[in-house]
Chains A and B, each alone.
Chain A
Amino acid sequence: MNQAIRHSWIAAIAMFALIFGAISYVQVVGADELKANPWNRRAILQNYCNDRGAILVGGSAIAESVPGNESCKFQRRYNQPDLYAGLTGYFSRSYGVTGLESAMDAQLAGSSDQLFFDRIGQLFLGNQPKGASVELTIDPKIQKLAYDLIPDGQRGSIVVTDPKTGNILAMVSKPSYDPNLIATQDVAKEQAAYNEAIKVPGVNLNPSVSGPTGALLAPGSVFKLVDTAAALKSGKYNADSVLPNPAQMSFPGIQYQLPNYAGGNCYTRNTASFAFALQQSCNTPFASIARDLGENAIAQQASKFGFNSDLGDQLKLDYAPSVFPSDLDDAGLAQSAIGQRDVRATPLQIALMTSAIANSGVQMAPNLIKAVRSPDLRVIDEPKPAALRTSTTPEIAGQITDWMTSVVSEGIGSGAAVPGVEVAGKTGTAELGNGLNNSWFTGFAPANDPQVSVTVVMQGVDISTGAQLTSPNAKKIFEAVLNK
Chain B
Amino acid sequence: MSHADTMPKPRRNVELLLLVLALSVSIGANALISIDEQTSLDTDFWFQSSLLAVASLVFHVVLRLRAKYADPVILPLVVTLNGLGLAMIHRLDAPGEDTGNNQLRWTVIAMAVAIAVIWFLKDHRVLRRFTYISLAVSALLLILPLVPGISAGEILGARVWIRLGPMTFQPGEVAKITLAIFFAGYLSSNRDLIMLAGRKIGPMQFPRFKDMGPMITAWLVSIGVLIFQRDLGSSVLFFGLFIVMIYVATSRISWVVIGLTLILGGGFVASKVFSHVGLRIDSWLNAFTEEVFGRSPGGSGQIVEGLFGMASGGLVGTGLGQGRPNLVPFANSDMIIASFGEELGLIGLFAIVMMYLLLFTRGFRAALGTRDAFGKLLACGLSFAVALQCFVVIGGVTRLIPLTGLTTPFLAAGGSSLLANWIIVGLLLMISHTARGPVDTSPMQPGRTPEAQKPVPVTAAGSRQDRNTTQTLPDAPTEAVKHL
Residues of A that sit less than 8 Å from B by CB: 1-9, 11-13, 15-16, 18-28, 30-32, 34-35, 37, 39-42, 45-46, 70
Q: Is B471 an interface position by the 8 A CB rule?
A: yes
CB neighbours (8 Å) of A20 from chain B are 350, 353
* CA of A247 to CA of B453, assembled, Å: 130
Asked if residues B324 and A31 are in contact (CB atoms below 8 Å), the reply is no
Is there an interface contact between A18 and B391, defined as CB atoms closer than 8 Å? yes
**Once bound together, how far apart are the Cα atoms of A30 and B398, in whole Å?**
11
Q: Closest CB of chain A to B121's CB: distance in Å?
A: 22
- B366 and chain A: residue at smallest CB distance: A5
* Residue ID in chain A nearest B337 by CB atoms: A23
- Give the CA-CA distance A5 to B368 in the complex, in Å: 7
CB of B311 within 8 Å of the partner chain: yes
Contact check: which of B248, B288, B349, B399 meets A27 at CB < 8 Å?
A: B349
B400 x A5 contact (CB < 8 A): no
Assembly CA distance A5 to B353 (angstroms)? 21
Q: Which of A9, A16, A32, A46 contacts B391 (CB 8 A)?
A: A16
The CA-CA distance from A34 to B251 in the complex, in Å, is 44
Among the interface residues A3, A4, A9, which one has the most CB atoms of the partner chain B within 10 A?
A4
The contact sample of 15 A-B pairs, CB cut-off 8 A, is A1-B474, A4-B251, A6-B368, A8-B248, A9-B360, A11-B384, A12-B364, A12-B384, A16-B356, A22-B394, A26-B307, A27-B345, A30-B311, A34-B310, A42-B327
Residues of A within 8 A of B244 (CB): 8, 11
Query: B73-94, CB under 8 A of A: which get 1 and which 0?
Result: 0000000000000000000000
B367 contacts A25, CB within 8 Å?
Answer: no
Chain A residues whose C-beta falls within 8 Å of the C-beta of B293 in the assembled complex: 39
Contacts of B388 in A (CB 8 A): 12, 15
B395 in the interface, Cβ–Cβ < 8 Å? yes
Evaluate contact between B399 and A26: CB separation under 8 angstroms.
Answer: yes
- Since A1-B470, A22-B399 are in contact, a sample of 13 more A-B pairs with Cβ atoms closer than 8 Å, ordered by chain A residue number, is A1-B474, A4-B250, A9-B364, A12-B391, A16-B353, A20-B353, A23-B310, A26-B399, A34-B311, A40-B308, A40-B312, A42-B309, A42-B324
Q: Min CB distance, A38 to chain B, in Å?
A: 10
Instruction: Report the Cα distance A31→B318, complex, angstroms.
Output: 14
The chain B residues found within 8 Å of chain A, CB to CB, are 95, 244, 247-251, 288, 293, 304, 307-315, 324, 327, 341, 345-346, 349-350, 353, 356-357, 360-361, 364, 367-368, 373, 376, 380, 383-384, 387-388, 390-391, 394-395, 398-400, 470-471, 474-475
Given A8-B247, A9-B361; A23-B353 close (CB under 8 Å): yes
Chain B hits for A22, CB < 8 A: 394-395, 398-400
Q: Residues of A contacting B247 with CB < 8 Å? A: 4, 7-8
Closest 8 CB pairs of A and B: A34-B311, A22-B398, A12-B387, A2-B470, A31-B311, A15-B391, A22-B400, A27-B346
Residues on B with C-beta less than 8 A from A19 are 353, 390-391, 394-395, 398, 400
Rounded to whole angstroms, the CA-CA distance of A356 and B185 in the bound complex is 97
Q: Verify B308–A34 contact, CB threshold 8 A.
A: yes
Complex CA–CA separation, A34 to B308 (angstroms):
6
Give chain A residues whose Cβ lies under 8 Å from the Cβ of B356.
Answer: 16
- B350 — which chain A residues lie within 8 A by C-beta? 20, 23
Measured between beta carbons, the chain B residues less than 8 angstroms from A35 are 308, 311-312
Q: Does A34 contact B395, Cβ atoms closer than 8 Å?
A: no
For the complex, give the distance between the alpha carbons of A353 and B311 in Å: 51
Q: Which residues of B contact A6 (CB under 8 A)?
A: 364, 368
Q: List residues of chain B with CB within 8 A of the CB of A30.
A: 311
Q: Could you tell me the distance between the alpha carbons of A80 and B341 in the complex, rounded to whole angstroms? A: 42
Known A-B contacts A8-B248, A15-B387, A23-B353; the reply to A2 vs B315 at CB < 8 A is no
Query: In the complex, are the beta carbons of A45 and B324 less than 8 A apart?
Result: yes
Chain B hits for A34, CB < 8 A:
307-308, 310-311
Contact B387–A23 (Cβ < 8 Å): no
Chain B residue with minimal CB distance to A43? B312
CB <8 Å contact, A27 and B324: no
**How far does the Cβ of B359 sit from chain A's closest Cβ, in whole Å?**
11
Task: Name B246's closest neighbour in chain A (CB-CB).
Answer: A4
Complex CA gap A308/B17 in Å reads 77
For A25, list chain B residues within 8 Å (CB). Answer: 398
Chain B residues within an 8 Å CB radius of A31: 310-312, 314
A31 to B349, CA, bound (A): 15
B28 to chain A, nearest CB (A): 16
Give Cα A21–Cα B394 distance, bound, in whole angstroms.
Answer: 11
Q: Report whether B368 and A23 are in contact in the complex, using a CB–CB cutoff of 8 Å.
A: no
Which single member of B309, B313, B341, B390 contacts A16 (CB below 8 Å)? B390
Q: Report the bound CA distance from A40 to B304 in whole Å.
A: 9
Return B234 CB to nearest CB of chain A, in Å: 17
Asked whether B346 lies within 8 Å of A23 as measured between CB atoms, the reply is yes
Whether B368 contacts A12 by the Cβ 8 Å rule is: no
A5, A18, A27: the one contacting B314 at CB < 8 Å is A27
Q: Which residues of A contact B288 (CB under 8 A)?
A: 37
Distance between A32 CB and nearest chain B CB, rounded to angstroms: 8
User: Residues of A contacting B314 with CB < 8 Å?
Assistant: 27-28, 31
Is B346 in contact with A24, judged by CB distance below 8 angstroms? yes
Closest to A37 in B: B308
Closest approach, in angstroms, between the C-beta of A37 and any C-beta of chain B? 7
- Complex CA gap A146/B95 in Å reads 48
Indicate if the CB atoms of A2 and B474 lie closer than 8 Å: yes
Which residues of B sit under 8 angstroms from A46, Cβ to Cβ? 312, 324
Known interface pairs A5-B248, A16-B357; A39-B304 also in contact (CB < 8 Å):
yes
A30 to B311, CA, bound (A): 8
Residue of B nearest to A1 (CB): B474
CA distance A24 to B350 in the complex (A): 9
Tell me how far the C-beta of A46 lies from the nearest C-beta in chain B, rounded to whole angstroms.
Answer: 7
The answer to whether A3 and B391 touch (CB under 8 A), given A8-B248, A23-B353, A34-B308, is no
> Contact at A28–B373, with CB atoms within 8 Å?
no
A16/B249 contact (C-beta < 8 A), A5-B364, A30-B311, A41-B327 known:
no
Closest chain B residue to A14, Cβ basis: B391
CB-based nearest A residue for B360: A12
CA distance A32 to B361 in the complex (A): 34
Contacts of A40 in B (CB 8 A): 308, 311-312
Closest to B326 in A: A71
Contact B310 A13 (CB under 8 A): no
Nearest neighbor of B367 in chain A, beta-carbon distance: A5
